[in-house]
Amino acid sequence: MDKTDKRKQDKKRAETEKKKKAEDDAKRRREKQMLRIQKLVKDSRSFQRLKQKAEGYECKLKPLRSDLDAAKKYLEETMFKARNACCPFCWLWRFTGVQRQVYTVL
């Protein structure tokens, strides 16, 4: 009986460790995405000029899903709001000026 109980405990422990590792990896990936987007926003130059260029554009970008989620979360958590752009992601793209890193063009 002791051997079977020990096997069950070992199996359960292995499963919990596997779940914890997967959660940690996902959290680390999300943090990396947030840092990347924050860096893009910090590195952008001349927000006012880009804001003027952003007026009247329609969304013709196809954002990557993971970047969309990270960008949306970042925009919601900060004071940045999507002004003069059709969506927050176009706003982020226009204000950072780095289309290829965050978006793929349709």
Per-residue pLDDT of the chain (106 residues; tens, 9 = 90+): 577 888 888 899 999 999 999 999 988 888 887 777 667 666 555 454 555 555 444 444 544 455 556 666 665 555 444 444 555 556 565 555 544 444 443 3
Predicted local distance difference test score (pLDDT) of residue 48: 46
Structural domain boundaries, residue 21: 2-105
**Contact call for residues 50 and 94 (beta carbons, < 8 A):** yes
Q: How many domains does the chain have?
A: 1
For residue 68, which of 46, 40, 95, 89 has the smallest C-alpha distance?
Answer: 89
